[in-house]
Chain A
Amino acid sequence: EAQVTQNPRYLITVTGKKLTVTCSQNMNHEYMSWYRQDPGLGLRQIYYSMNVEVTDKGDVPEGYKVSRKEKRNFPLILESPSPNQTSLYFCASSKGTGGSNEQFFGPGTRLTVL
């Protein structure tokens, strides 16, 4: 089944404790991205990757890191989480970025930073 998986689905952590949210897709998509979703603010892009070893900042990259060592995986790293990073996070992938390239979203990771 074609899908994007994220782990963990739910996480409660404390300020400053490094964490990684994994994202994996099995569709051989070149483009992957991370979004955070907060009430009233819609989906805001954190980082994106056009291909292996190519990553770029989105609209809200501060406090986050990513890597793209393999095509299928795109982990999101919070080196020192803070309470303002409490949010719902989505990973997404698509064949490309132009035209009607449908973005496939993972199920989401709900993160709470205390």
Chain B
Amino acid sequence: GQSLEQPSEVTAVEGAIVQINCTYQTSGFYGLSWYQQHDGGAPTFLSYNGLDGLEETGRFSSFLSRSDSYGYLLLQELQMKDSASYFCARSGNTPLVFGKGTRLSVIA
């Protein structure tokens, strides 16, 4: 199977840190990507993990553990503009497969 599991909704306070988890099925797995989508917009690429460990890009970091078939997106110093949907996506020996997305709401 190719499916990915991520929480459907997360709410966090402005300035805080939030972690969005993603578990995936391992068959033919190459790596895990993260995409952001604001309401009314198109998904945009945030990060990719092909190896275990943490990848940092500014306020956003992404982590992968192949042994646990698990990854997460970490958003720090949350801002209101971070309110969006976040999708994990697995690349592998089949075309990219997306999770159903996590809707993040940042509140004041």
Contact = CB atoms under 8 A, between A and B. Distances in A.
B45 A103 contact: yes
A43 B43 contact: yes
Contacts of A56: 95
Given A48-B95, A99-B50, A100-B33, A43 B87 contact: yes
B66 interface: no
B91 A97 contact: yes
A106 B100 contact: no
A60 B87 CA distance: 19
Contacts of A48: 95
A108 B42 contact: yes
Given A97-B95, A99-B31, A99-B50, A41 B42 contact: no
Nearest to B35: A103
B71 interface: no
A90 B37 CA distance: 12
Interface of B: 8, 30-31, 33, 35, 41-45, 48, 50, 87, 91, 95-101
B96 A103 contact: yes
Given A100-B33, A100-B50, A108-B42, A45 B91 contact: no
A48 B100 CA distance: 19
A74 interface: no
Contact of A33 (B30, B48, B87, B95): B95
Contacts of B33: 100, 102
Contacts of A58: 95
Contacts of A90: 42-43
B100 A100 contact: no
A48 B50 CA distance: 22
Contacts of B87: 42-43
Given A41-B100, A45-B97, A101 B91 contact: yes
A58 B97 CA distance: 10
B98 A43 contact: yes
Contacts of B45: 102-104
